[in-house]
């Protein structure tokens, strides 16, 4: 076994024995706790799914989420029966909580693909144990987001008019409108995210097929595993395809929120009409997405005892990303002031004054506290390595990103060029019931996901173990 | 498996090949390399995770997947652009703020999204098609311990259709690789 001795230095992992000699504070936090084997990783993660007994905590959480979905169904029935008038939108604020929530959810839906694709291309090994979870979160967030524009059309049964197809009315969509770009961006994003997630699941579905004891469960997993057998030739094309998908998803994920920001930036309204909206929105999306991953991962790793796989290193890295993207977002807030004041345009200047001192000033201050101040805690290792503080900061960011969209949308719309057309916007009870309902839908899907699918990619976790490194003779020679 | 006749070049009905089970990735990779050096060509290896260099060891030519993805991406982009142009120039021309009918910069976002969508569809379905999936039945699933291939065991199969295949020689050869177990794989 002379080949093994010549493992390239960067791939050598210290054994537990060697680690004991180094003082603990100098040790890097591992991405998998030591002492695991292929079998233990497989069994630990697949047992969460395959065990017969459903945990009580799961049942309670799922039931609560289901109640919220019930509320959503009632609200949707109301909306379809009575029209969008049940929402608080009216002249001059035609886009209210429906669009705020749409942008909020779409933003959250960015972390999954970012973790899966961009961190894969950047060879960030630590992404492995959180990517599956984040991808699922992405899909469910996009599903929740998709509800809003579909229902905001007022007559959702005509939504298929958004797609170009030859029809007897002789009508075609207007491709000069960013709103139709949105249809293509969001539906492409949903489709590609779903495929990315499913392709990642295939080998793990095969594992569950082979582990399941009940014949029907075995067949169900088997059907979705497509007869995967782990052939070397299959793995070769599989890895090739996975890398290609990552390469395709990277520009895609950046384009989606860019196009969402065009919905605003293309309009003439002060507070919307700004060239820096695309990068500002993309940074905000990553910020919001990682906050939501932290919000979900911290309780999940505790509840399912996954501390060995989602280690402090993952949480700390996500805290760092939260800080970095938070600073970009704060830079954008500052730039809004610079552009507004430097333009010398009285409407732009008034928009900023109105944000800070107008009727929605509390929202604006709260936005700075949530997105500007709270993430600053992440400068300190003490807070970055405390699950409690990470959770608190993530919650601040979740709220802050919602407020950001509130400040951008109604707070810009409610006072435009003509004082005679000014007005106020308040969400009605139905606006809130939709919001709570969409959160319920998101959690409902998430609860189902953690019960029936492995929330950590089993096969990718196996590759993190030192035993997974095998070398051919030519490689060993140099 | 008693009545299987042997002899080089004779196709053996009812036998898919002979499979050897290993306990670690390095043994599988060494075994596959040795089998190839020994002159066997119809090989396959199975592992619970991708192993770098294993596909080359069992003889996989270059994959055409990238080409499929490129072609699909170009088709998607052209199709997306054509869709916008046709809808807003030919089928339903509207004067929007005095812009030319063919205001092509506005078609770019949809063109881009369509290119990505078709390329991604090409990647996934191309990969599955080249891999011959879905395939619900495969002879290796007949091996009792093969369900460990998705957990922590590694398998190397030499197929009966290999021109050099001889049941006893193959068994002997696999035995030199120090496997955990050798099994005949029936169809």
The Cα of B14 is separated from the nearest Cα of chain A by a number of Å equal to 21
The chain A residue lying nearest B53, using CA atoms, is A472
Which of B20, B25, B37, B50 is the best substitution to test chain A (most A C-beta atoms within 10 A)?
Answer: B50
Nearest CA in chain A to B134: A226
Q: Quick check: is B85 in a domain?
A: yes
- Interface with B, mutate which of A49, A163, A178, A241 (most B CBs under 10 A): A241
The answer to whether position A200 is within a domain reads no
Q: pTM for the whole thing? A: 0.87
Mean pLDDT per 10-residue interval, chain A, length 478 residues: 49 58 63 77 83 86 94 93 89 89 91 81 79 89 91 89 88 90 93 92 91 88 90 89 90 91 90 89 90 90 83 87 92 91 90 91 93 92 90 94 92 89 90 94 92 88 80 56
> Phi/psi of residue B177, each to 5°?
-85, 5
Among partner residues B49, B69, B149, which is closest to A468 by beta-carbon distance? B49
CA distance A250 to chain B (A): 10
| Cα Rg, chain A, nearest whole Å | 24
Whether residues B142 and B58 fall in one domain:
yes
Q: How far, in Å, are A157, A242, A398, A416 from residue A119 at the CA level?
A: 39, 13, 22, 42
The predicted structure's pLDDT at residue A443: 93
Domain of A137 in residue numbering reads as 33-114+126-163+263-468
Is residue A246 included in any domain, yes or no?
no
Residues B162 and B146 in one domain: yes
Domain membership flag for residue A396: yes
Candidates B28, B96, B113; nearest CB to A255: B113
What is chain B's pLDDT, residue by residue, as a tens digit (187 residues)?
444 445 454 555 688 888 888 888 888 888 888 888 888 888 888 988 888 888 888 877 678 888 999 999 999 999 999 999 999 999 889 888 888 999 999 999 999 999 999 999 999 999 999 988 888 888 888 888 888 888 888 898 888 888 888 888 888 888 888 888 888 888 7
Structural domain boundaries enclosing B71: 65-130
Domain count, chain B: 2
User: Do residue B25 and residue B81 come from a single domain?
Assistant: no
Both B123 and B153 in one domain: the answer is no
Q: Is residue B9 part of a domain?
A: no
Structural domains of chain A, count: 1
Collect all residues with Cβ–Cβ distance below 8 Å to B181 and sequence separation of at least 6: B20, B21, B145
B125 with B88, same domain? yes
The verdict on residue B8 lying in a domain is no
Determine the Cα–Cα distance for residues A272 and A413; give it in Å rounded to an integer. Answer: 9
Tell which residue, A2, A144, A152, has the closest CA to residue A72. Answer: A144
End of a domain among B111, B130, B149? Answer: B130
What are the chain B neighbours of A188 within 8 Å (beta carbons)?
113-114, 116-117
Task: Decide if A301 is inside a domain.
Answer: yes
Residue A240 lies inside a defined structural domain of this protein? no
In a domain, B178, yes or no: yes
Measure the CA dihedral A224/A228/A230/A231, to 10°.
Answer: -160
């Amino acid at each position: 076994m002379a080949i093994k001795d010549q493992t390239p230095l960067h791939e050598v992992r210290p054994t537990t024995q060697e680690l004991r000699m180094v003082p603990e504070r100098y040790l890097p936090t591992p991405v998998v706790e030591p002492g695991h084997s292929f079998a233990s990783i497989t069994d630990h993660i697949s047992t969460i799914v395959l065990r017969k007994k459903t945990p009580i905590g799961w049942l309670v959480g799922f039931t609560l989420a289901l109640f919220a979905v019930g509320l959503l169904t009632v609200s949707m029935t109301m909306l379809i029966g009575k029209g969008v008038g049940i929402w608080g939108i009216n002249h001059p604020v035609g886009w209210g909580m429906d669009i705020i929530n749409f942008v909020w959810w779409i933003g959250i839906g960015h972390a999954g693909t970012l973790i899966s694709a961009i961190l894969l291309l950047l060879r960030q090994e630590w992404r492995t144990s959180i990517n599956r979870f984040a991808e699922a979160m992405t899909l469910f967030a996009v599903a929740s987001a998709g509800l809003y524009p579909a229902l905001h059309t007022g007559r959702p049964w005509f939504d298929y008019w958004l797609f170009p197809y030859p029809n007897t009315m002789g009508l075609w969509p207007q491709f000069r409108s960013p709103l139709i770009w949105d249809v293509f961006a969001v539906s492409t994003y949903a489709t590609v995210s779903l495929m990315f997630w499913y392709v990642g699941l295939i080998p793990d579905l095969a594992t569950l097929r082979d582990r399941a004891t009940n014949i029907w469960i075995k067949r169900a997993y088997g059907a979705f595993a497509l007869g995967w057998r782990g052939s070397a030739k299959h793995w070769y094309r599989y890895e090739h395809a996975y890398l290609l998908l990552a390469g395709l998803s990277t520009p895609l994920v950046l384009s989606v929120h860019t196009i969402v920001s065009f919905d605003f930036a293309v309009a003439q309204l002060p507070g919307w009409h700004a060239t820096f909206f695309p990068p500002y929105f993309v940074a905000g999306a990553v910020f919001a997405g990682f906050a939501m991953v932290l919000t979900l991962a911290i309780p999940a790793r505790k509840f399912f005892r996954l501390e060995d796989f989602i280690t402090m290193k993952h949480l700390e890295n996500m805290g760092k990303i939260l800080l970095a993207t938070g600073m970009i977002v704060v830079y954008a807030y500052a730039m809004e002031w610079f552009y507004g004041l430097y333009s010398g345009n009285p409407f732009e200047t008034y928009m900023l004054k109105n944000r800070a001192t107008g009727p929605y000033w509390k929202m604006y201050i709260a936005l700075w506290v949530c997105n500007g101040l709270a993430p600053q805690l992440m400068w300190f290792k003490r807070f970055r390595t405390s699950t409690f503080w990470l959770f608190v900061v993530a919650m601040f960011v979740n709220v802050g990103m919602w407020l950001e969209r509130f400040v951008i949308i109604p707070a810009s719309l409610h006072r435009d060029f003509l004082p005679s057309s000014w007005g106020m916007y308040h969400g009605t009870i139905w606006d809130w019931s939709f919001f709570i309902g969409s959160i319920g839908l998101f959690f409902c899907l998430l609860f189902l996901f953690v019960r029936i699918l492995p929330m950590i990619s089993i096969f990718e976790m196996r590759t993190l173990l030192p035993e997974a490194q095998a070398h051919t003779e030519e490689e060993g020679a140099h | 498996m008693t009545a299987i006749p042997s002899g080089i070049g004779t196709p053996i009905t009812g036998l898919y090949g002979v499979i050897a089970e290993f306990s670690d990735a390095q043994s599988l990779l060494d075994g596959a390399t040795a089998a190839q050096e020994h002159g066997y060509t119809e090989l396959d290896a199975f592992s619970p995770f991708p192993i770098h260099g294993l596909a080359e060891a069992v003889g996989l030519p270059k994959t055409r997947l990238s080409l499929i993805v490129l072609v699909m991406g170009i088709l998607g982009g052209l199709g997306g652009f054509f869709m916008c142009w046709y809808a807003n120039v030919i089928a339903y021309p509207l004067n929007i703020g005095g812009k030319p009918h063919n205001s092509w910069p506005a078609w770019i976002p949809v063109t881009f999204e369509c290119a990505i969508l078709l390329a991604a569809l090409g990647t996934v379905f191309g990969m599955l098609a080249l891999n011959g999936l879905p395939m619900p039945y495969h002879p290796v699933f007949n091996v009792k311990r093969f369900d460990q291939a998705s957990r922590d065991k590694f398998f190397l199969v030499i197929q009966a259709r290999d021109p050099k295949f001889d049941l006893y020689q193959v068994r002997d050869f696999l035995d030199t690789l120090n496997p955990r177990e050798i099994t005949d794989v029936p169809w």
